[in-house]
Amino acid sequence: MPEGKRAFEDFQAGDKRDFHTVTVSKADIIDFASDWDPQPMHLNEAAGEAGMLGGLTGSGWHMACLMMRGLCEGFLLNSLSQGSPGVKELNWQRPLRPGDTLTLSYEVLSARASASRPDIGIVLFHLAMTNQDGEVIMTMVSPIMFARRQATGADA
């Protein structure tokens, strides 16, 4: 990988990388749910036991936010990112549980220049969150826009 901030040119289809690891506590799960998703199964164990998933489980949006922060810390804050227009799909495959240690990884599905903005390229990522047992708990497909090094002259 070149030095300096990562630009569009640093991502190619087929690239795979583990970019972040994070451990989530029971307090983290309850704090997030209290702020953003106060459903009983995300707030207390008794309610969780009564539900489909068994026991206290984290909000799916907690997983998504952990992914966003992991992207920032893993490489986005040291890149020429120009943001994202959205998410193509987001799948919550297994529950997030207290004490889980999560590995965040990406595979680049495609990397193409923008038709309308020659200074920008669009990288389509398949993002996965895997727990300590090797189970994928969340996947996401999302495009992120990056400035092109050629166009900006950065690091060129």
Segments of 3-72 assigned E as strands: 16-23
Counting residues that bind a second copy (by CB under 8 A) gives 31
Is residue 31 within 8 Å of residue 65, measured between CB atoms?
A: no
Cα 15 off chain centre by: 16
Report the sign of the C-alpha dihedral through residues 125, 12, 119, 150, in that order.
positive
Among positions 18, 21, 23, 36, the unique one binding a second copy when judged by CB under 8 A = 36
Binding mask 61-100 for a second copy (x = CB under 8 A): x--xx--xx--x---xx---xxxxxxxxxxxx--------
Which residues does residue 145 pair with via DSSP β-bridges, in sequence order?
122
As measured in angstroms, the least distance from the Cβ of 90 to a second copy is 4
**Interaction of residue 110 with a second copy, rule CB under 8 A:** no
Note the residues at the interface with a second copy (CB under 8 A). 35-39, 41, 51-53, 59-61, 64-65, 68-69, 72, 76-77, 81-92
